[in-house]
Amino acid sequence: MNLTERTKLRRLPARGSHELESIYGILDAAFLAHVGFCANGQPFVIPTNFGREDDTLFIHGSAASRMLRELSTGVPACVTVTHVDGLVLARSAFHHSMNYRSVVAFGTAKKIEDDERKMHALRVISDHLIRGRWDEVREPNEKEMKQTSVLEFAIEEASAKVRVGGPIDDEEDYALPVWAGVLPLRMQAGEPVGDVRLVKEDLPEYVIQYQRK
């Protein structure tokens, strides 16, 4: 993976990393990415789910999707993911912050034409969202495959940034009678709600045990 001025960490570089282990860990814990690209001089940022395999991200959608059509032409793109782990409440308004984990990745995408690789990519996306589901459901048929576009986004370079810990106030503000600290935040699965037309009502183990990494 290359590193250039695009991924040079300028603001608070001590919080950043170019280590693949950190980058992949943050990507794998997410299921929603935002894809930024420019079409005819107009910037767009589109949310989408994804799957990762090594340094490739797979994204999919309708064959009529403008985002997928534009990305498949090889235009430069930027993919970002962010986890907010807590609100950092300081004694001054200026020093409020968030604890977070984020990745910014640059690269280009191409459309997958080979049916076998396309099906593989769809399985990677499914397993990324909820591992075990693909083995139980009906796979896409020929008509559904034609209606679906799948792109592989090659990560050319990327950087991660993480903030942890409590507030950092100006020394004179520590004497203020204001509560300060961290309000942790996390995403948690709720109680599963079965479809009204269920034939099999037993909950799959992958639903019962579902959690993000």
Q: What is the domain extent for residue 112?
A: 5-208
**Sign of the torsion formed by the C-alpha atoms of 180, 186, 192 and 193:** positive
Asked whether residue 14 is assigned to any structural domain, the reply reads: yes
pTM value is 0.89
The answer to whether residue 152 scores a pLDDT higher than 70 is: yes
Within a domain: 81: yes
Q: Which amino acid is at 8?
A: K
Looking up residue 13, the CATH number of its domain turns out to be 2.30.110.10
In a domain, 37, yes or no: yes
pLDDT average, residue stretch 28-42: 95
Q: Is residue 213 part of a domain?
A: no
Q: Let me know if residue 145 belongs to a domain.
A: yes
Which residue is listed with tokens 């403008």?
66
Residue 140 placed within a domain: yes
**Residue 171 confidence class, pLDDT cut points 50, 70, 90:** very high
Residue 160 lies in a domain: yes
CB atoms near residue 125 (< 10 Å): 22
In this prediction, residues 177-186 reach a mean pLDDT of: 97
Query: Per-residue pLDDT tens for 39-79?
Result: 999 999 999 999 999 999 999 999 999 999 999 999 999 99
